Amino acid sequence: MYKNGKYRETDKMSDLICENYPMVLVMSRFGIALGFGEKNIGEVCRQNGVDACTFLTVVNFLTEDVTTPVTDLNKCLSIDALITYLHNAHDYFLNFRLPHLRRKLLEAITECPKDVAFVIQQFFDEYAEEVHKHMSYEEKVVFPYVRGLLAGKKDPKYNISIFRKRHDQIEMKIVELKNILIKYYPGPGSNLLNSVLFDIFATEQDLASHNHVEDYLFMPAILALEKTIN
């Protein structure tokens, strides 16, 4: 099962991934590829030009199931690296995960009545559009604001609490799709459809943990940063 306690720079990268396979996504969002051999986390990070402290902060945050906002942030955390991580995660969802899921879903429901297939597709497209809006707000408003803060400039018209208030749970609607497929899907069952269902479960989990990082790690870090600039 999962390891207890926090991961450190001296732990092997391969151990981290084997014990916690969702971390493979974290790694790749930090720009680290597979094939790192026997090296430890610190070495792999340095070799890839990744801030090891930020990487470990995210990894430990996700593996420890943190349920309250992190207020005692390590000073070595690089907000710049955290933004890159979040940005890459957005890119992954919008340009890979959702389109991939859509293709697979449409293929899986070809056997079911046309009208049902039509509304399911419509539902998915609306959902993808919502995720798009949600994430592009962060890309276009929140990240530039934070980059300004890092450069020492504070936008008088904006603060991170505005984001905190409007930040919604983006995974809720995909839960609805899952519920409908499970309870009411009218066509014959198929291995492909089951596989789509597994993908939806994984996507839901992944989106929830992405949001979790934003709410409980990123947001407190920005609140603290705001206090240092007047």
Restricted to residues 110-139, the positions that interact with another protein (CB under 8 A) are: 115-116, 118-120, 122-123, 126-127
> Looking at beta carbons only, is 137 or 185 nearer to another protein?
185
> Looking at beta carbons only, is 82 or 98 nearer to another protein?
98
Binding mask 151-190 for another protein (x = CB under 8 A): ---------------------xx-xxx-xx---xxx----
Q: How far is the CB of 118 from another protein (least distance, A)?
A: 6
Q: How far is the CB of 218 from another protein (least distance, A)?
A: 23
Q: How far is the CB of 195 from another protein (least distance, A)?
A: 20
Q: How far is the CB of 177 from another protein (least distance, A)?
A: 7
> Looking at beta carbons only, is 122 or 195 nearer to another protein?
122
> Looking at beta carbons only, is 123 or 137 nearer to another protein?
123
Rounded distance, CA 194 to CA 98, Å?
17
Residues that bind another protein (CB under 8 A): 115-116, 118-120, 122-123, 126-127, 172-173, 175-177, 179-180, 184-186
